[in-house]
């Protein structure tokens, strides 16, 4: 990897780790959510690499696979599930209940009063 490419990857990883740090206790996000929020849609695998190389200090256990699956295997996956349960995250079988515990990086837009009135008239 060249110097500019290393700097670019480091910047990408730093942006991703900042997004990981935004996920609050009791909530989860997918690898894809983190990539999108960091400005790198489609780079879910790079989120995994960023977490792998971060050395701790970020809530890595709050990042899960699409659909709520824990993708880590063996004792690491077991540890992730225990940490999430300790924070109050609920599971439906082997997957996180995403409808309840998914963190939203972007606030939902509120409908304007004019749009609400138009819908009522119909």
Tens of pLDDT, residue by residue over 49-104, are: 999 888 778 999 999 999 999 999 999 999 999 999 999 999 999 999 999 999 99
The domain in which residue 41 lies consists of: 3-121
Q: How far apart are CA 122 and CA 103, in angstroms?
A: 34
Say if CB 51 and CB 20 are below 8 A apart. Answer: yes
Question: 76 - beta bridge partners?
Answer: none
CATH number of the domain within which 83 lies: 1.10.10.10
pLDDT digits (tens, 9 = 90+) for 19-51: 999 999 999 999 999 999 999 999 999 999 999
Question: 3-class DSSP state for residue 55?
Answer: coil
Domain count, the chain: 1
CA distances from 92 to 5, 48, 84, 96, 121 (A): 41, 24, 13, 6, 41
């Amino acid at each position: 990897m060249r110097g500019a490419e290393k700097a670019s990857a480091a910047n990408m990883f730093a942006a991703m780790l900042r997004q990981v740090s935004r996920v609050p206790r009791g909530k989860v996000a997918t690898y894809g959510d983190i990539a999108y929020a960091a400005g790198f849609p489609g780079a879910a695998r790079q989120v995994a690499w960023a977490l792998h190389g971060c050395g701790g200090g970020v809530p890595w256990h709050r990042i899960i696979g699409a659909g709520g699956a824990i993708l880590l295997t063996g004792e690491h996956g077991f540890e992730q599930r225990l940490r999430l349960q300790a924070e109050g995250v609920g599971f439906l079988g082997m997957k996180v209940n995403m409808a309840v515990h998914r963190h939203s990086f972007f606030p939902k837009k509120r409908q304007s009063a004019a749009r609400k009135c138009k819908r009522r008239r119909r």
